[in-house]
Chains A and B, each alone.
Chain A
Amino acid sequence: MTDSTEAVAVPKLSTGIASFDVIAKGGLPRNRTTLISGTAGSGKTILAMQFLAAGIRESGESGVFVTFEETAEDIRKNMWSFGWDLDQWERDGKFAFVDASPDPSVETVEIGPFDLGGLLARVQHAVKRLGAKRVSVDSLGAIFSQFSDQSVVRRELARIAFALKSMHVTALLTAERAEEYGPIARFGVEEFIADNVMVLRNVLDVEVRRRTIEILKFRGADHQKGEFPFVIAEGKGLAVIPLTAIRLRQHSSSVRISSGNADLDGMCGGGFFRDSVILISGATGTGKTLTVTQFMQGGAAQGERGLLLGFEESREQLFRNATGWGADFEGMERDGHLKVVCDYPEVMGLEEWLLRIQETVREFKPKRVAIDSLSALERVGSIKTFREFVIGVTSFIKEQEITGLFTATTTSLMGGTSITETHISTLTDSIILLRYVEMFGEMKRGITVLKMRGSEHDRGIREFKIDRDGMHLGRRFRNVTGVLSGAPVHVSPADLERAWGQYDAELGDRSSAAPRGARQGERRGSGRHG
């Protein structure tokens, strides 16, 4: 994409930074100047350089970098970690610096009226020499500190911005600001010399830095509104996570896939949907990792690839668990049906995790993705960031038309909901609860399908056992109630009969309403005992 399709709108220049072009709806307005304002360390210089690097790499467009602050040498070194070989591009005539950084070794005295004609001539010369299409200026504020006559600098910056337009280049100008939410830029003039304004933020959010980019205005051109999280990744540069730009264009497949357990498939009305996201919630040890293991095994049995992202247990532990349940993870990996990635959630922010997961999925191309557990990731950021992360992952999974299985750990052993659940339950298509049930001095396990979007499912709470072959579903908990709330109450068979009898009398038809009848009976029974 180079130009916008609408003839009336200002044509856009695809920056070559794919994720940025999404929120900029095609790219930066062509042959115009765009200001990027941000506090210290918000990533302005990186974006300014990435704009040029992407031009050189993606569309063969040369670029000129004008620096008022850091020396060309420093920038050259700093940008090396992103894989941008400025030296090589300079030799190829694709890139040039105009170094206007202050030289501390030379003392300069202002004795009368002046203009910045020297700088302008250098920029024009560099643009002409390379046939450059892109210019980055970093940063406007720094030029003010080089001269005592601020009014001259203001006038001259406006003149340079105007000259850039006549050179037919698309330019990015950076400017510093003192606060994350305050005046756009320090000197109060920067935003007036540019056609378009963007803001980079680096806000401390629950002890974690959260980077966002916002397009404030594109004169005569459309763009996405609001703040979008972004990350600065080594070897790449800035990558925007366009959350609200993700469209709900799910196909809602009616194709069913096996959960890896025939009994559970039966409870779900014939298996999980192909492009759906399932949440498994339960206390520690209830069988969440087992459900994940079976999910992977079920995929491999169909010759499908599965990706398992473990955030709670080590790789060795996961493999040992799997062997204990009769699943051969090693063999599955050898056959290319499985990829297990284990790491501490804390090694990076959630935005980075989202990108990492997307990358891994694109590379490995699995049909199934499991995250064990989401609760572990929740610790890394704020609730807002976590929600955004889950939205990002779920929409990505649906977009890829694959199946996602996430686990959430409840804090209390008996019943209760997990924090994870409350934040994301509306985002998932299906919710399966695993619970401990205390009965006659014994801990039993119960499973129920709470929600199954777009399908009928078993509404009962079934007991299940775990042995060397995995999970085995048994009968319903018929004579107990309050399993999900964590306070199971036993109902005597006599009470149960009476409750059922009453219910049947009301309905008149016991057989067709049996599942509901059972539930109803249990509830009444609990009332008596309570």
Chain B
Amino acid sequence: MEIIDVLEQPEIAETHRILATPTLIKELPPPLRRVIGDLSDKEKVLLGLELRKSNEERGKPAS
């Protein structure tokens, strides 16, 4: 996990073609995923990065 301040290192923002702040990029494990927006809701972040399935999806096969 690497944290970059776009104001201090704009060239890295350029390389990764960042538009929005904050942006969270998950490179590994694939697939490459980007999440933008406030990261305080852990559940939303994990869903966005596809690191966790939603409650509904988890619930579906069971029902």
Contact = CB atoms under 8 A, between A and B. Distances in A.
Interface string A108-139: 11111111111101101110000000000000
A147 interface: yes
A147 B7 contact: no
B35 to A, nearest CB: 5
A117 B21 contact: yes
Contacts of A110: 35-37
A99 interface: yes
A391 interface: no
A147 B20 CA distance: 10
Report the interface size class on chain B: 20 to 34
B14 A114 contact: no
B59 interface: no
A112 B38 contact: yes
Nearest to A126: B14
A109 B20 contact: no
A146 interface: yes
A113 B41 CA distance: 11
A95 to B, nearest CB: 15
A112 B37 contact: yes
Contacts of B11: 125
- The winner among A118, A125, A126, A146 for most chain B CB atoms within 10 A is A118
Contacts of A112: 37-41, 44
B35 A122 contact: no
A106 B18 CA distance: 12
A100 B37 contact: no
Contacts of B10: 121-122, 124-125
A111 B44 CA distance: 6
A81 B54 CA distance: 51
Interface string B10-43: 1101100111111100000001111111111100
A109 B34 contact: yes
B21 A109 contact: no
B20 A111 contact: no
A414 to B, nearest CB: 73
Contacts of A105: 32
A107 interface: yes
A98 interface: yes
Contacts of B22: 114
Contact of A108 (B7, B35, B39, B40): B35
A146 B37 CA distance: 14
A108 B13 contact: no
A111 B41 contact: yes
A103 interface: yes
Nearest to A143: B19
A118 B13 contact: yes
Given A122-B13, A125-B11, A125-B14, A117 B6 contact: yes
B48 A116 contact: no
B30 to A, nearest CB: 12
A312 B34 CA distance: 64
Contacts of B31: 107
Given A111-B39, A118-B19, 16 more contacts: A103-B17, A105-B32, A107-B32, A108-B34, A108-B36, A109-B36, A111-B36, A112-B37, A113-B38, A116-B20, A118-B20, A118-B23, A119-B19, A122-B6, A122-B14, A146-B19
11 contacts: A106-B33, A107-B32, A107-B33, A114-B23, A117-B20, A118-B6, A118-B23, A119-B18, A122-B13, A125-B13, A146-B19
Interface of A: 98-100, 103, 105-119, 121-122, 124-126, 143, 146-147
The 8 closest A-B pairs by CB, nearest first: A112-B38, A112-B37, A125-B10, A118-B18, A117-B21, A109-B48, A121-B6, A108-B34
